[in-house]
Amino acid sequence: MTRDGTYKREGLAQEMFRKMLCKAVLCSYGTSPRTCFPTREFAALFPELIERWRAYAEVAWGKQATGDTHEVMRRAEAADDQ
């Protein structure tokens, strides 16, 4: 969020994180749409990474993280097919 309370689509943090993922060959930067797509190998790790994040969140903040692991995988697979 910017100082005036509006949201930007992308800021420096997103751009840097995307470039780090692409440089590590964990993602590839698409041409249309211009976004970061996970590699098949990295996408296969999502369920385990999400479960580890949920366990961490429960310990760190005393509450369970929410979200649908299967929905994340469907989106990753759809992006990989493009």
The low-confidence residues of the chain, meaning pLDDT below 50, are: none
Give the per-residue pLDDT at 35.
77
Summarised one tens digit per residue, pLDDT across range 33-56 is: 777 888 999 999 989 998 998 888
Query: Rounded to two decimals, what is the model's pTM?
Result: 0.53
- Supply the mean pLDDT for the chain: 78
Is the CB of residue 33 less than 8 Å from the CB of residue 78?
no
Q: Percent helix, strand and coil across the chain, each rounded to 5? A: 55, 5, 35
Give the per-residue pLDDT at 70.
59
Give the per-residue pLDDT at 57.
84
Give the per-residue pLDDT at 30.
75
